[in-house]
A and B are shown apart, each in its own frame.
Chain A
Amino acid sequence: DIQMTQSPSTLSASVGDRVTITCRASQSISSWLAWYQQKPGKAPKLLIYKASSLESGVPSRFSGSGSGTEFTLTISSLQPDDFATYYCQQYNSYSPVTFGGGTKVEIK
């Protein structure tokens, strides 16, 4: 299976900060990577697919980049609604779906 490693596991930031979360795959997954946001007690919400494509309705302050084994999720200016946990997910068709361990974005 392809292992997904996120860093950091926790991130403390202030409103207005630029935030970057990294996700590394144990082998190349081309651009088959998605990012989700999860708030306490709620289901995850799709933010980005195919590494850099923004899901409809998701604010443009969210962006994704990368290919192969290294990917990033960037929030250009952190808003109060963005404090949550973020997960990456690989969906390479030749391997079972796997998720990263999550990054919790906390208020500094």
Chain B
Amino acid sequence: QLQLQESGPGLVKPSETLSLTCTVSGGSISSSSYYWGWIRQPPGKGLEWIGSIYYSGSTYYNPSLKSRVTISVDTSKNQFSLKLSSVTAADTAVYYCASLDTGGVCDYWGQGTLVTVSS
């Protein structure tokens, strides 16, 4: 069974870049059965898909965030990462990493990490 764990700073200053890493265990990030994605949830609000990556490096981003988002994969470390640039308070959220089947269903999730944007 896959396990995912987010890591990264819990506090980011406005205008800076948010960086998070997701470590995958219990399976290979190079599996052709999965995409790897980031989803966020502002406090008290709903879920927003940020983007996904395939082990080959193909990426798919939410159009509303595309200009600020970069998702990358490191197969040697079984990790994938998120960078979100020029953050504002509106980017304060719990950030989840997840595995998505080839259809787009999020079947395994990390526990989530709260990132607060504040000076």
Chain A nearest CB: distance from B67 CB in Å?
14
State the majority secondary structure of interface residues on B.
Answer: strand
Interface residue ranges, B against A (CB under 8 Å): 37, 46-49, 52, 60-63, 96, 98, 100-101, 103-107, 109-112
Chain A contact residues, CB within 8 Å of chain B: 1, 32, 34, 36, 42-46, 49-50, 55, 87, 89, 91, 93, 96-102
Contact status A102-B46, CB under 8 Å: yes
Closest to B48 in A: A99
For A50, list chain B residues within 8 Å (CB). 103
B47 lies within 8 A of A91 (CB):
no
| Binding site secondary structure of chain A | loop
By the criterion CB–CB under 8 Å, are A91 and B104 in contact? yes
**Is there contact, CB below 8 Å, between B49 and A98?**
yes
Report 22 cross-chain contacts, Cβ distance below 8 Å, ordered by A residue. A32-B103, A34-B105, A34-B106, A36-B106, A42-B111, A43-B96, A43-B112, A44-B96, A44-B106, A46-B106, A46-B107, A49-B103, A49-B105, A87-B47, A89-B105, A89-B106, A91-B105, A96-B62, A97-B49, A97-B62, A97-B104, A99-B49
